Amino acid sequence: MGGKVALVYSDKYLEYFFGPEHPLRPQRLTLMMELIREIGLLDHPDLRVVEAMAASEEELKLVHSEAYLQHVKRLDEEGRGYLDYGDTPAFKGMFSASAMLVGGSLRAAELVMEGEAMHAFNPGGGMHHAARDRGAGFCVFNDVAITARYLQKKYNLKKIMIVDIDCHHGDGTQETFYSDPSVLTVSFHEDGRFLYPGTGFINEVGEREGKGYCVNVPLPPFTFTEAYLYAYNEVVPPLVKSYEPDIIIQQCGVDTHFGDPLTTEALTLDCYEKIIEILHNLVHEATDGKLILLGGGGYEVGCVAKAWTLMICKLLGVKPPEHTPPTWRELYARTALELGDAPRDPDAMYEREKPPLTYEKERVLEIVKETVKKLKETISKYAPLF
Ligand SMILES: [Zn+2]
Ligand SMILES: [Zn+2]
């Protein structure tokens, strides 16, 4: 089960930078590119790196309002202030840097739709909190939603499925398609009672014609790999079978990792591999392989680099090495120190350290099972999906 994989990237992604004190660090991207290079993936015959180009204003307007674009431009010129209540600071060059991330996701969509790649990954994308008239939660333009609208407009796709595995609820994406059954949104995230943005409950199911086509899986804090995979397996494969999407877009935030400084989930790196394994099998069965992966959250730079590298390995069918290459581990250690962090397991591709068990596993699994059961009952009232 092969198929060519495109990795859409640009050094200009690094200009998406909210300042040295901000938790979203561009170094996670440079560390990822360096890791895939050093383990030899750039020489793999099925992997192609494609340069991203900025999205046009017309493309941004597939989701955002003209007034919001003007607002972003004004703040960009001033180079100070915030797009929201304090998480997303404005900076000079913000408009073009944000348009570049969106352009990468649109390029990924084109490569897949035009048969140049079977699967495409834009690690610069995944900005799921932005919505029509607002930026929020480190996100200026919502490339996830824009990509879905672009696929509808340019390729006339009738059914698009968006899966969002970021630790935070994909609220901007949900809002964009809340009354639209032609885009099924599914978000797995830490329960909104404990984490930003405080939404994504089971009873948020969509409205009007879209009712039942918005699926939320709020997870308790300390959800661990096995419990997470239980939920993913119970929800995603049945939805793919019943909804029969033309393509799947997955936002791949990895801030669910137990070492992430902003959240309290407890996933290990192998969980991301297993998620991709499940999804990869599904797309080859259901969408002729059409799969777009986007980046997302992840605030421990080495962990993000490893997680996304492991995902690419899985798509390519490459067995990752057990140890990171020595030059990479030095780069990671140096980068982490510069950022004021301690590097985590720099020499291991997976973690040596185990997630802390601050909560009883049995209880977490029980809550996850109850949540899945309840959400299936809730969705079934409105749409024939489960
Ligand atoms: Zn494949
Ligand atoms: Zn997140």
How is residue 176 written in tokens?
Answer: 């964009």
Residues near ion ligand 2 (CB < 5 Å) are 166-168, 253, 255, 297
Residue 165 included in any domain? yes
Whether 218 contacts 192, CB under 8 Å = yes
The pLDDT of residue 357 is: 64
The type of residue at 32 is M
Low-confidence stretches of the chain (pLDDT beneath 70)? 1-3, 356-359
Residues near ion ligand 1 (CB < 5 Å) are 3
Reference 289, options 299, 281, 300; nearest CA is 281
| Secondary structure class of 179 (helix, strand, coil) | coil
User: Separation of 118 CA from ligand 1 center, angstroms?
Assistant: 7
What range defines the domain where residue 282 resides?
Answer: 5-380
Kindly list the distances between the CA atom of residue 175 and the CA atoms of 62, 170, 380, in Å, as whole numbers in the listed order: 14, 9, 21
Kindly list the distances between the CA atom of residue 269 and the CA atoms of 83, 249, 296, 329, 333, in Å, as whole numbers in the listed order: 32, 21, 16, 17, 19
User: Separation of 273 CA from ligand 2 center, angstroms?
Assistant: 18
Measured distance CA(194)–CA(210) in Å, rounded: 27
Residue 225 included in any domain? yes
The pLDDT of residue 85 is: 86
Pick the ligand that lies closest to the CA of residue 121. Answer: 1
H or E stretch at 185: strand 183-190
DSSP 307-321: HHHHHHHHHHTPPPP
The pLDDT of residue 358 is: 61
Residue 328 included in any domain? yes
Other residues' Cβ atoms within 10 Å of the Cβ of residue 198 = 13
CA torsion 148→153→156→162, rounded to 10°? 10
Residue 386 included in any domain? no
User: Separation of 308 CA from ligand 1 center, angstroms?
Assistant: 16
User: Separation of 86 CA from ligand 2 center, angstroms?
Assistant: 16
Pick the ligand that lies closest to the CA of residue 120. Answer: 1
Is 189 a known active-site residue?
no
* Domain total of the chain: 1
Residue from 128, 129, 168, 169 carrying the catalytic annotation: 129
- The C-alpha angle with vertex 132 and arms to 130 and 136, in degrees rounded to 5, equals 25
Residue 385 included in any domain? no
Pick the ligand that lies closest to the CA of residue 190. Answer: 2
Kindly list the distances between the CA atom of residue 61 and the CA atoms of 70, 73, 76, 102, 131, in Å, as whole numbers in the listed order: 11, 14, 18, 12, 11
User: Separation of 104 CA from ligand 2 center, angstroms?
Assistant: 19
Percent of residues in the chain assigned helix, strand, coil, to nearest 5: 45, 15, 45
Pick the ligand that lies closest to the CA of residue 276. Answer: 1
User: Separation of 349 CA from ligand 2 center, angstroms?
Assistant: 22
Residue 135 included in any domain? yes
Residue 220 included in any domain? yes
The type of residue at 80 is R
Here the CATH number for the domain that contains residue 29 is 3.40.800.20
Residue 182 included in any domain? yes
The pLDDT of residue 353 is: 74
User: Separation of 317 CA from ligand 1 center, angstroms?
Assistant: 8
The pLDDT of residue 359 is: 65
